[in-house]
Amino acid sequence: MVALLWPVAMLNYLDRQMVSTIRSSIRADIPSIANDQDFGTLMAVFMWVYAFLSPVGGYIADRFNRRWTVIASLFVWSAVTWLTGHATSYSQMLCFRGLMGISEAFYIPAALALIADFHTGNTRAKAIGIHQSGIYAGLALGGVGGYIADHSSWRNCFTWFGAAGVVYAIVLIVALKDARSDNSATAEKKQTVGIGQTITALWSQPAFWILVIYFTLPAIAGWVTKNWLPTYLADTFNLKQGPAGLSATGYIQLASLGGVILGGAVADMWMRTTQRGRIYTSAVGVLLLVPALLGLGYGGSLNVVIAAMILFGLGWGFYDCNNMPILCQIARPEHRATGYGFMNLVSISVGAAATLLLGWMRDRGIKFSVAFAVSAAVALVSAGLILLVKPRAQNLESI
């Protein structure tokens, strides 16, 4: 099941990330994208739509069927990706980015909850880590878009990968299965859970509030690097969009790929001695982001910035593979996809605002280093915050 979802995770982030790595080609071909603030809006509108519909996608996965939620999401966002390759104006690009946000919002909450259904106990963080490595492979491959745009056309990036996703959705109809619950009472409860009951169960817990804030603060740095690092490298070190895009995505995402696998293994191993093992592993990862962000903003040379990108990716991997496993320690199975959706809602809304703000800053000549320094301070605060979470009950881990 994890192997089947890995290509979906890769396409999920590859399709959304390509816009940032081929910025100059898109702007040259569509003059109605007038400035960097307009381009920032293209990225932000996806994030806001994605954010606000994530709880809806999570609730549908909890209430109805996680398998079909995954398949439908993949099919629709892949079709929208194909359409993006045929856009001819800023308004069309804006529309397709919004539609992309709608369709992709349903995937991650459903997929991670489905993995948690299959993998309980000592395999959960490792399984989610392997799945998340597909995300980083997709982000790394997003840099290939710059080379395709340089040697062919930016439109081919969206056309080819969109068509691949539509075909793979058909494969999943045959191959992907839902988990069979061994607990009939739990299975029945999933079918009768109401939205009001879910909201109350989640938001009445102080631990969930803390987890939502913790999930949000480091994500500011994550979205800033995902959406603007190619531009930062191109401007600072005079790189063309191909090398800049591949460097910005490649080093961080390959390090993140290793980080999620290693972080999942460390967390599962640490859980053998303490129920807070995944919390501790995640906090270590966020602490690594602090020197990495300062290195990105003030490194001064490309080699130092590359080392900072690798450190950032490693820390991000430790953080990212443990968010759903930590949620599983405070929320019951019938609330987990919705809970992750709410986490996405808050986190990505704030990330979208940061993305738009950075475009505004660029148009006014404010340096990227300011954004990296602020993000480092925020990450430091969040590392202490997650230590306040106390797992609700040990038996949740086996559900």
Of 90-99, 225-234, 342-351, the one with minimum mean pLDDT is: 225-234
Looking at residue 185, its pLDDT comes to 46
pLDDT for residue 171 is more than 90: yes
Residues 321/330, Cβ–Cβ less than 8 Å: no
For a pLDDT cut of 70, what percent of the chain falls above it?
A: 91
- Answer whether residue 154 is part of any domain: yes
Does residue 80 form part of some domain? yes
Residue 183: inside a domain:
no
Produce one character per residue of 70-83: b if its CB has 16 or more CB atoms within 10 Å, e if not: bbbbbbbbbbbbbb
> Alpha-carbon distance 197 to 150, whole Å?
52
Euclidean distance between CA atoms 117 and 119, whole angstroms? 6
Interval 138-164: pLDDT, tens: 877 776 776 677 777 888 888 898 999
Q: Is residue 184 part of a domain?
A: no
d(C-alpha 211, C-alpha 331), whole Å: 11
In a domain, 216, yes or no: yes
Establish if 81 belongs to a structural domain.
yes
| Res. 23: pLDDT tops 50 | yes
Mean pLDDT value of segment 224-247: 75
Q: What percent of the chain has pLDDT over 90?
A: 46
pLDDT at position 394, please?
53
241 or 51, higher pLDDT = 51
Helix-helix angle 206-237:2-21, to 10 degrees: 50
* Residues whose CB falls within 8 Å of the CB of residue 231, separated by 6 or more in sequence, listed in order: 20, 23, 36, 244, 362
Q: How many CB atoms lie within 10 A of CB 228?
A: 25
What are the tens digits of pLDDT across the range 296-354?
Answer: 888 888 899 999 999 999 999 999 999 999 999 999 988 999 999 999 999 988 887 88
Number of domains in the chain: 1
CA 281/CA 314 separation, integer angstroms = 12
Q: Is the pLDDT of residue 205 over 60?
A: yes
How far is 238 from 298, CA to CA, in rounded Å? 17
End-to-end CA distance of the chain: 18
CA dist., res. 258 & res. 359, Å (int): 31
How distant, in Å, are the alpha carbons of 60, 185, 229, 370, 398 from that of 189? 14, 6, 45, 49, 17
* Domain residue limits at 21: 2-177+189-398
Q: How far apart are CA 222 and CA 215, in angstroms?
A: 11
CATH code (residue 379): 1.20.1250.20
Mean pLDDT of 9-38: 81
| Spatial CB neighbours of 392, under 8 Å, sequence gap ≥ 6 | 205, 207, 329, 330
Q: Is the model more confident about 186 or about 176?
A: 176
Distance (Å) of CA 282 to CA 114, 139, 318: 21, 21, 5
Asked if the structure places residue 332 within a domain, the reply is: yes
Asked whether 305 and 233 are in contact (CB, 8 A), the reply is yes
Q: How far is 55 from 246, CA to CA, in rounded Å?
A: 32
pLDDT band at 184 (very low <50, low <70, confident <90, very high): very low
The per-residue pLDDT for range 121-143, each reduced to its tens digit, is 788 999 999 999 998 888 777 76
> In this predicted structure, what is the pLDDT of residue 110?
93
Q: Residue range 226-231: average pLDDT?
A: 75
The encoded tokens of residue 179 equal 């988990």
Instruction: Name the amino acid, one letter, at 311.
Output: L
Exposure of 387 by Cβ count < 10 A (0-12 exposed, 13-18 middle, 19+ buried)?
middle
- 352: nearest Cα among 200, 193, 237, 224: 224
> Reduced to 3 states, what is the DSSP secondary structure of residue 240?
coil
Question: Which has the closest alpha carbon to 246: 231, 230, 226, 227?
Answer: 230
Q: Which one-letter DSSP state was computed for residue 300? A: -
The alpha carbon of residue 364 and the mean position of all alpha carbons in its chain are separated, in whole angstroms, by 29
Q: Is residue 182 part of a domain?
A: no
What is the average pLDDT score of the chain? 86
Centre a 10 Å sphere on the Cβ of residue 327 and count the other Cβ atoms it contains: 27
At residue 180, the 3 state secondary structure works out as coil
CA 106 to chain centre: 13
